[in-house]
Amino acid sequence: MQPIKVVLIGCGRIAGHHCRSIAAIDGIELAAVCDLAEEKAVAYADEYGVRHFANYHQMFAEIPDIDVAAVITPSGMHFEHATDIMSRYGKHIIMEKPTFMRPDQLGQAYKLADSKGVEIFPVFQNRHNKAVRRVKQAIDGGELGDIRVVGVRLRWCRPQRYYDMAPWRGTFSHDGGALTNQTIHHIDLLRHLAGKVDRVSATMRTLGADIEVEDTTVATFSYASGAVGSLESTTAARPDDFEASISIAGSLGLAQIGGIAVNELQIFTPDPEACADNSEDFRGIEGHGAVYGYGHATMYQDIAAFFGSRTPYPVDRTDCLMTLQLLHAFYRSDEQGGWVDVNDGKQSTRLGRADEKISDLYRTPTQ
């Protein structure tokens, strides 16, 4: 079987991590990189010995045997870029977090993918961390008993200069705040690990930067099982990143995962000795990789397995939809000023709203 040819569309902060992850996996190869700012693409092309482009239409025309396109453009452009690539070129799509900005976009994208016979591969790489896998195993196997309380705390630092890096940052249309950009993985994990969330009550503030979106959220939520939870998310901590954790208290024990990217099993009362064996050190990963961890390599391994042996990709459309609905529930609660039903099919009025002026900055001209 020929290697699966992957191209990157967007060469921002996480692109190098995708390149390294692809290089580490048999059966996958990097074919090209593309960015409207051509110098960004040139840097990765030179490092990995592949072609570079400033226009993805030209890239697909000149390399017709591309199999998969990894869309790592600004979040608010994910839907437009993904649907354009699927409809014009019939390529499979890898979607970086938060997959799409709105649940209805996810539904439309999967409907298009079905009609074109292609796949969408959402990225939630932290599910692959050793600590997360061990706690998931413990919950599924009953080691923690019945889940009672879940807690999420993210206390990170994103100063004004971070948001000033690009026009899309700090906007409701193309970014979302700390909850959408930084805490999305914890939102995914609080339901991936502990089950279906049915109600949310959230308060949002903007405390540390001059941006339109929230940089701080405090919320409570309840599970369909009867368990309850709390969330604290902020990028207004100063002067550094301090904590990003999720804890789960059950009737038989407690598990807490922390570290830079939920990579350390810090407390595990069913078997305290399991903490060391199920923790990973991400600090030595190049560039910004300590934030991203090793999970992207496993994600590409899953994609190779899908094409090689038709092994189902572990994040399906329903799973992804539930995470996006939960994300929107936090925003809707703040907008409405009270508890909201996560699963009522409604969406935030702010998150992912259209802004053509910003979108025009990131659109690729057709040839």
* 206 and 79 within one domain: no
pLDDT averaged over the chain? Answer: 96
Bridging pattern class, strands 92-95 and 28-34:
unpaired
pLDDT at residue 367 in the model? 66
- Whether 101 and 225 share a structural domain: no
Q: Do 248 and 335 share a structural domain?
A: yes
| pLDDT tens digits, one per residue of 163-207 | 999 999 999 999 999 999 999 999 999 999 999 999 999 999 999
Indicate if 133 and 117 belong to the same structural domain.
Answer: no
pLDDT at 294: 80
Q: What are phi and psi of 255, to 5 degrees?
A: -125, 135
Alpha-helical (H) ranges within 141-229 are: 160-163, 178-181, 184-194
CATH at 272: 3.30.360.10
pLDDT digits (tens, 9 = 90+) for 2-54: 999 999 999 998 999 999 999 999 999 999 999 999 999 999 999 999 999 99
Answer yes or no: is 213 within a domain.
yes
Asked, for residue 350, whether it belongs to a domain, the answer is: no
pLDDT at 238 (0 to 100): 98
Is 109 found in the same domain as 41? yes
Answer whether 121's CB lies under 8 Å from 301's CB.
Answer: no
pLDDT band at 288; cut points 50, 70, 90: low
> Helix (H) and strand (E) counts for the chain?
14, 14
Is there a single domain that holds both residue 236 and residue 133?
A: yes
DSSP 313: P
- For residue 12, is it within any domain? yes
Q: Is this model's pTM higher than 0.85 or not?
A: yes
Claim to verify: residue 206 and residue 87 sit in the same structural domain = no
Range of the domain at 142: 128-292+311-341
Q: Which residues contact 165 (CB under 8 A, 6 or more apart)?
A: none
Number of domains in the chain: 2
Last residue of a domain, one of 125, 145, 170: 125
